[in-house]
Amino acid sequence: MGSSYSGTVFTVKIHGEGVTLKAYGPVIGARQPSKVWDVVNVVVDPQSVDLSIVKRKP
């Protein structure tokens, strides 16, 4: 996702994996604002995925 996105950014670490996801926008179905260490389900829509390189290995 490009720098044109603004608002809330969610960073999600996948337990037991070396994967970190970042999402922009509201959490669908959330009844209250999320907090650090909340447990969430991650659902990925393959037609809405956008990848960007944030750090390259030397």
pLDDT digits (tens, 9 = 90+) for 18-37: 888 888 777 777 788 778 88
pLDDT averaged over the chain?
Answer: 76
In this predicted structure, what is the pLDDT of residue 6? 59
Q: Is the pLDDT of residue 54 over 80?
A: no
Residue with tokens 């960073």, as numbered in its chain: 11
Q: Show me where the domains of the chain are located.
A: 1-31
pLDDT band with cut points at 50, 70 and 90 for residue 1: very low
**Which residues does 24 contact at the CB level (< 8 Å), separation at least 6?**
1, 5, 7, 8, 9, 10
